[in-house]
A and B are shown apart, each in its own frame.
Chain A
Amino acid sequence: MYPVWEGLIFHSAFIVALVAVAHVLFSHVTVAATWFNWWVERKALAEGKPYLYDYLKASALRLLMFAYTLGAMFGVGIWFSVTASNPRGISTLIHDFVFYWAAEWFWFIIDVFGIAVYYYTFGRVNPKTHARIGLILALAATGTLAIIVGILGFKLTPGHWLQTGLSLDGFYNPTFWPMLFARFALMFALTALYALLVAAGLPKDHPARAEVVPLAGRVGLVGLTVGVALVLLWYVPSLPEHARVLLGVPQVVQKVFYVKMALGVVATALVLALALLKPNLAARAGAAYLALFLAFLGLFGAERTREAIRKPDVVLGYMASNQIIRVDFAPRGVKAEEGRLNQEGILKHLPFAVAPGAKAAGPAGGLDPVEAGRALVTLQCSSCHTVSKNTALLGGMRNLAAMFHRRGMTKAPQIRAYLEAIGGFPYMHPVVGTPEERDYMAQYLERLVKEFFPQASAGR
């Protein structure tokens, strides 16, 4: 077990979500835009429409500046933020899939190098060679999607990996196929919005606008329809029962996330329909930015929901969100940790649970029970909950003090009883530790409630 980083001002999980969605937005545009541009370039070649190159150049410059490099950077950003917030979770993925990521690295090199070659060779090599570079970019960018989908899906549906321990079984997991095709389709909708934004930057009477905008509308609408259908009819039914149950639990997936998703889909559909029917109206930067913002919100809702329905695990059926391994994993000789920690105690076994000699007063054998409780709560709860004022901006994420206050539990005995009960909730595991350690946790949580709600605590 590692030191716990709670986050600062913003909760660590919130930071992960922000970085992840920025990455998804950039990277999805990257992949589909390469196919879209390849198609436009083929059209320019086959139909003798050199003016389309103006669109392609404008698109490539933005892809070079933003999508490719920033997309790749924010991909690494997810890694860093996840590493800081849940190191053992990312460790599980790394020790299983390091060579899949290393394979994806080859595609990244082609993407980042290739987009520069693509942009700087406009008009400097023959059109056929240039179109081939476009095709190479499209294939390599799709390669990145092809690989990351396997790793993403694994966390929620590890499938046969739980029995065999083979990385191939985890990679080609039960949600791999629907997620692969649904994401591939949906990214064309995002790309279409991006194409509108690029087209809006061309002069109003530029002939490329008249060609590209309706084409973007058509491609985007097909992508959106197919993608949404695949999510609803294939991806969701492929989810394990546990996850499908959680989709209906409002404490796990709040209504607002469904609203965001619906809003994203509807706004995207409307703008794309406009591109098809009234191209001049749709090719405005304001409309495209607004639609992209709403699509971002929708993505946030979708990614957040996918993460939430995996709870309380970081790898479903293997490791809990608190980074404790739940089960014996025979294929790799891994032993479950929960039982041992319940019996022998967390403080004794985990080097970073609390430093030895912490505040030598108190009845707990040289430990301050409240400080010991803080370490235990931080360790077990802070992946998902705000457990101190460090991350309490706007109340924080599922703030434990607010939850206890709302339920009228402001004293340690009440909180202690609640801690015993939470293992019975569908999205929580039992608290880990000896009975004495659970007492420490309750004592710290009492202090936490007092810190957040001093008057209410005093009045009870």
Chain B
Amino acid sequence: MTPEALLAMRDPLGAPVHPLIAQILLVVTYVLHIFFVTTAIGSLLVGLYGLGRREENWQRLAKVAIRLSVQATGLGITMGIAPLLFVQVIYDPAWYTATTLMGLWTTLFIPVVALGYLFLYILYLRGNLAGVGYVALALLLLAGFTMHSLANAGLYPSRWVEWYAPGGVPDTTGVRFYGYDLPRFAALLFGQAALSLGVMLLLFAWYFRRREDVPQDFLAFTQGQAQGALRLGALLLGAFGLAWAFTQGRELGLSLPVALVALVVAGLFYLHAPRAKAEGALGTLGLYLGALLLVGILREGMRVAALGRMGYSPLAYPFVWDWGSLLFFVATGLAAVPVTVYLAQVLYASGRSKEGGDPSSGVERFGDLGVRLLVGWFIFYLGLGLFVVVRNLGA
């Protein structure tokens, strides 16, 4: 693969916005995605562990964790759509090469996740089928490893042709994994899974702290497990992060930044763990999102550096301003974001007591506004379409 060939693989249509915008959106949406994905894995692991314990608190926590895992899996997949979109806009040569090299795993990715999700749901509904849960875990880990390999294979353009055609004969079956780095996989999946779990358990204890039907000792137990998860996450991320620095980090000449980020995040949460209390759960969440952003930036930095050696810069990606598509995106965001906030407010209100609870009148009015915004979006959508039709009549 020559630098010229790599550049020629970019889509000739170019990006519809300045590539910096796509790059920023890629990192920000990745943070949301990985937060839910690692929450799903972490909570499933603790749920399965809890099922094996006899203590009431563990049994209770296991149920909470498994329910959390189900919802986090759905949201993780949904959130993953956005970074998946943006990586294709400015890193198409790397992404498409990786997905075709591992074509079988690329296509199996969603069936594997879907099957894992279904097994997880069976575990949630039946409550005590740990074996089903382990199958779900294995499937979700396979999906995670697949995505890890797809992201990593794109970092090695100099090896692509040899991977595809070892000895000069193309292999078109796509059955092998390429580019994976196990320390990176362990640091970013298991390390972050424990941290995400810790943050989520703290949020749980914070949310239910005023519910009279939820025993205080269970909440204290949950807080204790959250602190343990944060400590464990810090240790895993630190240890595997260092191993990552000396494997892939060294290969790409980036040992120092990888080690620094891993140690900073690990140190931060190791020190924070004993002080992490339910009352300060929102602060811990903020801290964690900041840490995920730092890791996200590191990942992108590695991609930029690895491809940069071949003369590829995402910021030099050709682009045109396609105002129509931006208008569409902004208008949809203006309608959808308030509605999402409203739904969160309803959910928040409904869990305030054992019997449920109504949102305040202010929230109800916000809900009415949300419905009007959605109806307004359809008027915008159909109106824009009619405008385009009329404009093209004479063309």
**Are A83 and B99 neighbours in the complex by a CB distance under 8 Å?**
yes
Complex CA gap A175/B84 in Å reads 28
Q: Give the contact stretch, choosing among A45-53, A199-207, A240-248, A353-361.
A: A353-361
B12 within 8 Å of A by Cβ?
Answer: yes
Partner of B99 from the list A84, A176, A375 (CB cut-off 8 Å) is A84
Most B Cβ at <10 Å: residue of A5, A110, A357: A5
Q: Are B81 and A358 in contact (CB under 8 A)?
A: no
Q: A108-B78, A121-B347, A140-B374 are in contact. Are A2 and B100 (CB under 8 A)?
A: yes
- Min CB–CB distance B392 → chain A (angstroms): 5
**Contact call B172/A160, Cβ cutoff below 8 A:** no
Contact B85 A94 (CB under 8 A): yes
Which of B1, B88, B364 meets A351, CB within 8 Å? B1
- Report B-chain residues with C-beta under 8 Å of the C-beta of A125: 346, 349-350, 356-359
| B385 and A172 contacting across the interface, CB-CB below 8 Å | yes
Contact status A359-B97, CB under 8 Å: no
Residues of A within 8 Å of B358, CB to CB, are: 125-126, 129
Answer whether residue B257 sits at the interface, using C-beta atoms and an 8 A cutoff.
no
B316 within 8 A of A: no
Q: What residue in chain A is nearest B335 (Cβ atoms)?
A: A106
A126 to B331, CA, bound (A): 31
A129 touches B367 (CB 8 A): yes
Across the interface, which residues of B come within 8 angstroms of A159, CB to CB? Answer: 392
**Contact present for B377 and A143 (CB under 8 Å):** yes
Which listed residue, A15, A74, A129, A390, touches B172 by the CB 8 Å rule? Answer: A390
Q: Quick check: B77 and A103 within 8 Å, CB to CB?
A: no
Q: Which residues of B contact A166 (CB under 8 A)?
A: 322, 324
Closest to B99 in A: A83
Q: A1 touching B172 by the CB < 8 A rule?
A: no
Inter-chain contact B325/A98, CB cutoff 8 Å: yes
Within 8 A of A (CB), among B94-116: 95-97, 99-101, 103-104, 106-107, 109-111, 113-114
A227, chain B: closest CB distance, angstroms: 19
Considering the chains assembled together, what is the distance between the CA atoms of A85 and B96 in angstroms? 10
Q: Which of the residues B99, B121, B165 comes within 8 Å of A65, measured between beta carbons?
A: B121
Set A88, A124, A356: member contacting B356, Cβ < 8 A? A124
Q: Are B13 and A390 in contact (CB under 8 A)?
A: no
List, in ascending order, chain B residues with CB within 8 A of A90's CB: 88
CA distance A143 to B336 in the complex (A): 10
Closest to B174 in A: A5
Q: B14 contacts the other chain (Cβ, under 8 Å)?
A: yes
Asked if A317 is at the interface (CB within 8 A of a chain B CB), the reply is no
Interface residues on B, range: 35 or more
User: B-facing mask of A98-136, CB < 8 A → 1, else 0?
Assistant: 111111111111111110110011011110010011011
* B336 surroundings in chain A (CB, below 8 A): 106-107, 109-110, 140, 143
Are B110 and A77 touching (Cβ within 8 A)?
yes
Query: Is A37 at the interface (CB under 8 A from chain B)?
Result: no
Encoded as 1 (CB less than 8 Å from any A CB) or 0, chain B from 285 to 310 comes to: 00000000000000000000000000
| Chain B residues with CB under 8 A of A390 | 172-173
Nearest CB in chain B: distance from A96 CB, A: 6
Q: A357 near B168 (CB under 8 angstroms)?
A: yes
- Evaluate contact between B324 and A168: CB separation under 8 angstroms: yes
Per-position binary interface string of chain B over residues 55-95, scored 1 when its CB falls under 8 Å from any chain A CB and 0 otherwise: 00000000000000001011101111110111011001001
Query: Do A97 and B13 touch across chains, with their CB atoms under 8 A apart?
Result: no
Give the docked Cα–Cα distance between A96 and B89 (Å): 9
Query: How many angstroms from the CA of A133 to the CA of B25 in the assembled complex?
Result: 29
- Do A100 and B162 touch (CB < 8 A)? no
A117 touches B100 (CB 8 A): no
CA distance A402 to B113 in the complex (A): 36
Chain B neighbourhood of A1, CB < 8 A: 9
Partner of A102 from the list B1, B82, B118 (CB cut-off 8 Å) is: B82
Would B172 and A106 count as touching, CB distance under 8 A? no
Task: Give the distance to chain B from A174, nearest Cβ to Cβ, in Å.
Answer: 10
B100 touches A87 (CB 8 A): yes
| Neighbouring A residues of B160 by C-beta, 8 Å | 3, 351-352
Task: Give the CA-CA distance A97 to B16 in the complex, in Å.
Answer: 8
Whether A99 contacts B325 by the Cβ 8 Å rule is yes
Check if A305 is an interface residue, CB within 8 A of chain B.
no
From B45-53, B244-252, B337-345, the one touching the partner chain is: B337-345
Residues of B within 8 A of A139 (CB): 371, 374-375, 378
Q: How far is the CA of A354 from the CA of B161 in the complex (A)?
A: 8
Contact A358 B168 (CB under 8 A): yes
B110 touches A332 (CB 8 A): no
**B131 part of interface (Cβ distance < 8 Å):** no
A303 within 8 A of B: no
Cβ-based interface call for A73 (8 A)? yes
Interface check A452, CB cutoff 8 A = no
Closest chain A residue, CB of each to CB of B25: A102
Q: Give chain B interface residues in 355-395, CB to chain A under 8 Å.
A: 355-359, 364, 367-368, 370-371, 374-375, 377-378, 381, 384-385, 388-389, 392, 395
Which residues in B have their C-beta under 8 angstroms from that of A256? none
Which residue of A has the minimal Cβ distance to B165? A355
Return the chain B residue nearest A94 by Cβ: B88
Knowing A109-B78, A167-B16, A332-B320 are in contact, say whether A371-B169 is a contact too (CB < 8 A). Answer: yes
Tell whether, in the assembled complex, residue B78 and residue A112 are in contact, meaning their CB atoms are under 8 Å apart: yes
Q: Report A180 CB to chain B, min CB distance, Å.
A: 9
User: Is residue B255 within 8 Å, beta carbon to beta carbon, of the partner chain?
Assistant: no
A99 touches B16 (CB 8 A): yes
* Contact in complex: A5, B103 (CB < 8 Å): yes
The answer to whether the Cβ of B175 comes within 8 Å of any Cβ in the partner chain is yes
B322 touches A167 (CB 8 A): yes
Q: Jot down 5 A-B pairs with beta carbons below 8 A, ordered by A.
A: A5-B173, A72-B77, A87-B96, A106-B336, A351-B5
* Residues in chain A within 8 A of chain B (CB atoms): 1-8, 12, 15, 19, 65, 68-70, 72-74, 76-77, 79-81, 83-85, 87-88, 90-92, 94-114, 116-117, 120-121, 123-126, 129, 132-133, 135-136, 139-140, 142-143, 146, 159-160, 163, 165-169, 171-172, 176-177, 325, 329, 332-335, 351-352, 354-359, 371, 374-375, 378, 382, 388, 390
Give 4 new A-B contacts, CB below 8 A, not counting A83-B88, A98-B16.
Answer: A5-B172, A80-B106, A105-B78, A352-B165
